[in-house]
A = this chain, B = another copy of it.
């Protein structure tokens, strides 16, 4: 078999989930607990009855591509030719990395702490990776200078997720501008930025930065998974300059042929219904308020979430995050994700999700605080 497949390690996040018990308070989830709006599915059903579920073109339904491009309206990325519909943002990222980077010469720079799949996709493709860690002393805020300083000679792309899984930080427009300036000053072949925008509709700050608004060599990946509680629908997209999208469509076509037509019917309804992309936004804002109250009450050190639906809490000095997460499941029946799953820079931290009922989230946080109080300082 392909040795690259064999060599890549199993998921630490999945290993934690596997330990969950029926009564556990689950603060480890990576998906919304809300239910999706059935109106989108009913609209899709009417399409099925009328037109079946035939193949769409490889790149997706032209009207959906157009609607997505127009909705975001990024400069020079606002036409159908700038969009490829993908199987969730996971395939969007896989196709982006595979299309962009030449394993024989290019290197991918990952801004950490980061969701582990970027590094695993690169490993599967034989692409060299370097990483740059944001500072935990600064609550993992995105720092343009730190990222720019980490660029190597072979770095052809930077990947970052903002709003960020796991840190819940959001890159500011100012930091985007400064990083873009640094990349422009560099000269030579452009360094691309792959901006994972999957938590875009869970943004709680006013100065959020978007590379696609500022830097022409940007590839955006996104999906309906988190905005509309449609994780299982696997409906995502790449939004990028049209030359890049044309190449990405080839890769997407050989991997998956095209994305589920039913899911595209659902997405058409979401993008055609004004405000539908933000139909859950108020709930998250309210939920975040309750989370902040619970965190303050607990006394745990934490980074206040600027976006996404995670929160990072710091364990007492010298704690192992894996050991703590294991003990929290075994002794306290709370599932969390050890920080080290997202890079060495997040050792000593836990990632919590706050999409459950506020009482459960509060109870879980309280148990974590009680557990931490038992640890030697």
Which chain A residues have a beta carbon within 8 Å of chain B's beta carbons? 1-3, 5-6, 8, 31, 35-36, 38, 41-42, 45, 48-49, 52-56, 87-88, 90-91, 94, 98-103, 117, 120-121, 124, 229-234, 244, 247, 250-251, 254-263
Contact = CB atoms under 8 A, between A and B. Distances in A.
Contacts of A255: 90-91, 94, 255
B234 A260 contact: yes
A249 B41 CA distance: 29
A292 to B, nearest CB: 26
B232 A262 contact: yes
B250 A234 contact: no
Given A2-B98, A90-B256, A103-B2, A49 B38 contact: yes
A252 to B, nearest CB: 10
A344 to B, nearest CB: 21
A6 B232 CA distance: 32
The count of identical subunits is 2
A258 B223 CA distance: 14
A45 B258 CA distance: 22
Contacts of A117: 254
Nearest to A35: B52
Contacts of A56: 232
B232 A55 contact: yes
A54 B38 contact: no
A3 B104 CA distance: 10
Given A56-B232, A233-B260, A5 B250 contact: yes
Counting chain B CB atoms within 10 Å of each CB, the highest count among A1, A31, A259 belongs to A1
Contact of A53 (B54, B233, B244): B233
A124 B251 contact: yes
B1 A247 contact: yes
A250 to B, nearest CB: 6
Nearest to A266: B262
Contact of A52 (B49, B102, B232, B260): B232
Q: Which 7 A-B pairs have the closest CB atoms?
A: A232-B261, A53-B232, A90-B257, A234-B260, A87-B256, A35-B52, A260-B260
Nearest to A105: B3
A38 B48 contact: yes
Contact of A99 (B1, B121, B256, B257): B1
Contacts of A54: 31, 231-232
Given A2-B99, A38-B49, A232 B258 contact: yes
A246 B255 CA distance: 19
A118 B98 CA distance: 18
Nearest to A243: B1
Contacts of A8: 250, 254
A251 B94 contact: no
Among A8, A38, A98, A100, the most chain B Cβ lie within 10 Å of the Cβ of A98
Contact of A247 (B6, B41, B52): B6
A32 B183 CA distance: 50
A167 to B, nearest CB: 21
A2 B88 contact: no
A1 B244 contact: yes
A74 to B, nearest CB: 20
Given A1-B100, A38-B49, A102-B2, A258 B244 contact: no
A53 B250 CA distance: 28
B256 A234 contact: yes
B121 A254 contact: yes
